[in-house]
């Protein structure tokens, strides 16, 4: 007998749904919201840099104690890392597959008239995504694992690591460029997510554009302020 969880040919409904373009858009939106939430909370947490070494170092240690003693020390952080990695992988896979579907359906790109910044942001989504991925890999090697050359990593001391890392001028500039790219990506990503969710009514379009822009700007200003503050010697 058939159940509601499998389709007529025996494939689980989740797989069947994912096979459709709508399913892929839903996965992009759901993983996008998760990543967006992480980037926002991560930026807020990093603002503790301005409260001094103790504040941000204690915060780093607090994150490792969440869920303890039910989970081992640092256990929740590992769960969060695995969930985030899974979200990044699914976000990229569905983006790639949607690109292939839309290329097959429409080999010639057509011209669209949009806001200048919105259209620049939309054209940089794919390459922006690749640069952001490169940034995340560098960032993990740099501030989580302490593997990048030119500074001595101190375990459990994010304040000292951030200051030492951004004291390397090329690294600070790379962080600024990557986070500006991330800002454009968040702006267009949020904007088009509303579109996928069917929120595309002329009455809401200005509101939706402003909301996406405001969130992207807040996250970007927060993030680029860290390398800039270290470069200016305001945080040392």
Residues that bind ligand HEM (CB under 6 A): 39, 42, 46, 60, 77, 81, 84, 132, 136, 139-140, 143-144, 158, 161-162, 175, 179, 182, 223, 226-227
For ligand HEM, the closer of residues 93 and 231 by Cβ is 231
- Name the 3-class secondary structure at 12: strand
Asked if residue 56 lies in contact with residue 159, where contact means CB atoms within 8 angstroms, the answer is yes
For ligand HEM, the closer of residues 17 and 38 by Cβ is 38
For ligand HEM, the closer of residues 13 and 62 by Cβ is 62
For ligand HEM, the closer of residues 14 and 173 by Cβ is 173
CB of 204 to ligand HEM, least distance (A): 28
Dihedral sign for Cα atoms in the order 88, 143, 46, 64: positive
Dihedral sign for Cα atoms in the order 91, 96, 99, 100: negative
CB of 138 to ligand HEM, least distance (A): 10
What b-and-e string marks burial along 79-98, b requiring 16 or more CB atoms within 10 Å of the CB? Answer: eeeeebeebbebbeebbebe
CA nearest 178: which of 129, 217, 234?
129
The stretches of 52-157 forming alpha helices (DSSP H) are 53-65, 75-105, 116-123, 125-139
CB of 24 to ligand HEM, least distance (A): 22
CB of 143 to ligand HEM, least distance (A): 4
CB of 45 to ligand HEM, least distance (A): 8
For ligand HEM, the closer of residues 101 and 130 by Cβ is 130
For ligand HEM, the closer of residues 7 and 143 by Cβ is 143
CB of 111 to ligand HEM, least distance (A): 31
CB of 222 to ligand HEM, least distance (A): 8
Length of the chain, in residues: 236
Q: Could you give the CA distance from residue 127 to residue 148 in angstroms, rounded to a whole number?
A: 24
- Name the 3-class secondary structure at 6: strand
Residue 102: CB partners within 8 Å, gap ≥ 6? none
Q: At what angle do helices 116-123 and 169-196 cross, to 10 degrees?
A: 110
Report residue 115 as tokens: 């806001």
For ligand HEM, the closer of residues 53 and 119 by Cβ is 53
């Amino acid at each position: 007998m058939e159940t509601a969880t499998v389709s007529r040919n025996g494939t689980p409904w989740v797989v069947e749904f994912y096979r459709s373009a709508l399913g892929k858009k839903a996965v992009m939106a759901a993983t996008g919201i998760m990543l967006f939430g992480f980037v926002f909370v991560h930026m807020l947490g990093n603002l503790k840099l301005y409260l001094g070494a103790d504040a941000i170092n204690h915060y780093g240690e607090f994150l490792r104690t969440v869920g303890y003693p039910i989970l081992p020390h640092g256990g929740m952080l590992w769960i969060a890392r695995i969930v985030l990695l899974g979200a990044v992988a699914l976000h990229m896979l569905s983006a790639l597959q949607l690109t292939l579907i839309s290329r097959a359906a429409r080999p010639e790109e057509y011209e669209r008239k949009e806001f200048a910044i919105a259209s620049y942001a939309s054209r940089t989504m794919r390459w922006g995504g690749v640069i952001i991925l490169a940034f995340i890999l560098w960032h993990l090697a740099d501030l989580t694992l302490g593997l990048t050359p030119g500074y001595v990593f101190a375990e459990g001391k994010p304040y000292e690591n951030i200051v030492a890392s951004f004291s390397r001028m090329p690294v600070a500039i790379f962080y600024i460029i990557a986070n500006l790219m991330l800002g454009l990506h968040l702006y267009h990503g949020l904007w088009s997510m509303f579109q996928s969710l069917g929120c595309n009514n002329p009455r809401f379009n200005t509101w939706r554009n402003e909301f996406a822009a405001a969130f992207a700007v807040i996250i970007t200003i927060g993030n680029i302020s860290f390398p800039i503050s270290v470069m200016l010697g305001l945080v040392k």
